[in-house]
Structures are given as structure tokens and as C-alpha cells.
């Protein structure tokens, strides 16, 4: 690809992802986003580097979807509805036209799933690894965003979906084979393409006192809530929701609960609410295909304890997933 021509081609391939009202056809200096009256814009941004945050052999479409989805997950954790995103691409020498086409197709597919459009961005060349930054933009009523700082002593701790699948998937993908074929496909998919809880998140406004999405690991992210809210937490090991694949891997001794709660990349919503909220959540769950499980309580003090059936603390080898 020639140099200037290359960027024209990229602009052409991205233009169908944008809408005129926000992206101005991607021909202008900036994008526009007017939240609905009484709403605030919510902005989340994450940078993913090839070889650090995703695997080089992942499909371009999966890379695109992961970059978008991890940010949609952050928007959901604030209780906000996603509307659009900005895309900063630093393209490495090995990126081809075909790669770019697949990447754009991945974005197009997810735009339809999540009801977002491309508002704008910037594409440059880098001599380094492919780097993708997405800035997701959503909206929530002014004053109603769910933050990390509102957890109260006595709150019940809830989590959506199942925990540990992505960690098992990553182990599998990096050559530490722990599962049979069917389960393997499931957990690898959970690692490669997170399922941000964008419909549940906004429904938690008014119910959840504090929320976060699980990216560093269940224990580490609960620690973030505890630090910011100046509280502690107890998590009952037996109540941590596991998938069939995760449960099977643990039963066979190939994977531990400790791996599951510290593995990260779950992109489930972890939130704190009054114990009575459980009834409202049950009604909520009935309209979604995703379980919501009570896993513990917010306590006075600080730090997170994982406890067994006898109430004894379980030692963890590490507290959270570190991408480095």
C-alpha cells in the first residue's frame, strides 16, 4: 500500500461504520455526542497491544471485538448505555488489506449487537506491535452513574455469569492443555470474545451501590471496590459461580478455584447491593439469559477474604491477573 493512499483506503473502509450525526462521515476534526437531556456522557478507554493483551494469532475480527467489548464492559459497570466509540489504530508492518477488512467486519458485526457506531478516531503506522485503543462512549442520568466507591457494610456482593472461564481459556491457548474439546472451545471463546453485560448494567442503576467489571480477577476487582469504598469483603468459595467447563477442570485437578478467582478477563459485573435487592435481581435475571449470584458480604475493615465452608480463609497464590 502506498503511504497516503493507504490512509485513504483505511478511511474508506471505516466510513461505513460511522453515522453522519456523530462521526460527520469521519471527514472532520472531531466527533459530536450530545447526551439526552439530563444525562451525562460516560467515557472509557483501553489500549490493547499485540503480544501483551491479545495473541498475535487471534483473528482480526476477534481482536476488534475484544477491543470494543472490554470498553463496553466498563460502560456497563457504570450503569450506562453505550452509544458509540472512537478507534485509535497503530498499524504494524504485518497488517495487510485482508487483515484490515476482517478487523472492520468484526467491528461491524459488534456494532449491530451492541447498538453503537464509530464516532471517530485516528490511524497511524508504527514500527512496533499492532496497538488498538478504543474509547467507548455511553450515557447515564446525571448523578446516577454506579461507581466503585458506594459499597456499604452489610451489602451483599453479586456477580453476573460465571468466573474463571477466560483464565482457563488463556491457559489452553498458551499451551497449558487442561480440558476436553467441547469445553476447550467454550473457554477459549470466553477468553477471546468477552460478553459485556451491557443490558444488565443499566438495569442496576438504583439497585447497586457500587460496581466494577471483572478484568483483573474477581478478588482483585473486589479489592478495588473495597479500597475505594473503605470497606472489606468476604467471599464464600462455594458460591463463586463456575461454568460446567470450569467445574469439570477443577474436579479433574487441572485448574483451581484460586486460578478462577484471580485469573481475570471475565468481563462479568461484580456489584454490591442491599441483601433485599436479591428479589429485584431475581426478577431481572428472568428477563436475561445470564445468572446473577450472591457470593459474599461487604464487611467493616479492609481487604478481601475468600472463605471455605467452615468460614476459614483460603490462601491465594496471587490476588489478581497482571497483564505483564
Nearer Cβ to a copy of itself (28/239): 28
What is the rounded distance in angstroms from the CA atom of residue 197 to the CA atom of residue 203?
10
Q: Are 202 and 76 in contact (CB under 8 A)?
A: yes
Task: Quote the least distance from Cβ 21 to a copy of itself, whole Å.
Answer: 10
Long-range contact pairs involving 92-97 (C-beta distance under 8 Å, separation at least 24)? 92/50, 92/126, 92/127, 92/128, 92/129, 92/130, 92/131, 93/125, 93/127, 94/130, 95/130, 97/1, 97/9
Nearer Cβ to a copy of itself (16/35): 35
Task: Quote the least distance from Cβ 309 to a copy of itself, whole Å.
Answer: 31
Task: Quote the least distance from Cβ 250 to a copy of itself, whole Å.
Answer: 26
Nearer Cβ to a copy of itself (40/307): 40
Q: Which residues are near a copy of itself by CB under 8 A?
A: 3-4, 24-25, 27-35, 37, 39-49, 51-53, 74-75, 77-78, 80, 86, 88-90, 92, 119-122, 124-129, 131, 133, 135-138, 142, 145, 147-149, 212-213, 224, 227-228, 322-324
Q: Which residues contact 86 (CB under 8 A, 6 or more apart)?
A: 31, 118, 119, 120, 121, 134, 135, 137
What is the rounded distance in angstroms from the CA atom of residue 87 to the CA atom of residue 23?
12
Nearer Cβ to a copy of itself (12/322): 322
Task: Quote the least distance from Cβ 158 to a copy of itself, whole Å.
Answer: 16
Task: Quote the least distance from Cβ 150 to a copy of itself, whole Å.
Answer: 11
Amino acid at each position: 500500500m502506498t503511504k497516503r493512499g493507504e490512509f485513504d483506503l483505511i478511511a474508506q473502509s471505516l466510513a461505513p461504520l460511522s453515522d453522519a450525526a456523530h462521526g460527520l462521515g469521519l471527514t472532520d476534526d472531531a466527533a459530536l455526542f450530545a447526551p439526552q437531556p439530563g444525562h451525562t456522557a460516560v467515557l472509557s478507554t483501553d489500549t490493547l497491544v499485540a503480544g501483551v493483551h491479545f495473541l498475535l494469532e487471534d483473528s482480526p475480527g476477534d481482536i476488534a471485538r475484544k477491543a470494543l467489548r472490554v470498553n463496553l464492559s466498563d460502560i456497563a459497570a457504570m450503569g450506562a448505555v453505550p452509544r458509540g466509540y472512537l478507534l485509535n489504530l497503530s498499524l504494524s508492518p504485518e497488517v495487510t488489506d485482508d487483515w484490515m477488512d476482517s478487523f472492520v467486519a468484526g467491528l461491524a458485526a459488534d456494532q449491530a449487537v451492541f447498538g453503537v457506531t464509530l464516532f471517530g478516531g485516528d490511524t497511524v503506522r508504527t514500527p512496533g506491535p499492532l496497538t488498538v485503543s478504543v474509547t467507548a462512549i455511553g450515557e447515564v442520568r446525571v448523578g446516577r452513574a454506579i461507581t466503585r466507591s458506594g459499597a456499604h457494610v452489610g451489602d451483599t456482593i453479586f456477580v453476573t455469569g460465571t468466573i474463571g472461564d477466560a483464565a482457563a481459556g488463556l491457559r489452553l491457548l498458551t499451551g497449558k492443555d487442561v480440558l476436553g474439546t467441547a469445553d476447550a472451545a467454550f473457554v477459549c471463546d470466553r477468553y477471546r470474545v468477552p460478553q459485556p453485560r451491557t443490558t444488565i448494567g443499566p438495569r442496576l442503576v438504583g439497585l447497586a451501590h457500587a460496581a466494577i467489571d471483572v478484568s483483573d480477577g474477581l478478588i482483585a476487582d473486589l479489592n478495588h471496590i473495597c479500597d475505594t469504598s473503605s470497606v472489606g469483603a468476604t467471599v464464600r468459595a462455594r458460591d463463586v459461580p463456575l461454568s460446567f467447563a470450569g467445574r469439570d477442570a477443577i474436579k479433574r485437578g487441572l485448574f483451581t478455584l484460586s486460578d478462577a478467582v484471580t485469573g481475570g478477563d471475565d468481563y462479568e459485573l461484580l456489584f454490591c447491593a442491599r441483601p433485599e435487592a436479591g428479589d429485584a435481581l431475581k426478577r431481572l435475571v428472568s428477563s436475561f439469559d445470564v445468572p446473577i449470584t450472591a457470593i459474599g458480604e461487604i464487611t467493616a475493615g479492609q481487604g478481601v477474604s475468600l472463605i471455605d465452608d467452615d468460614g476459614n480463609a483460603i490462601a491465594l497464590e496471587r490476588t489478581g491477573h497482571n497483564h505483564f
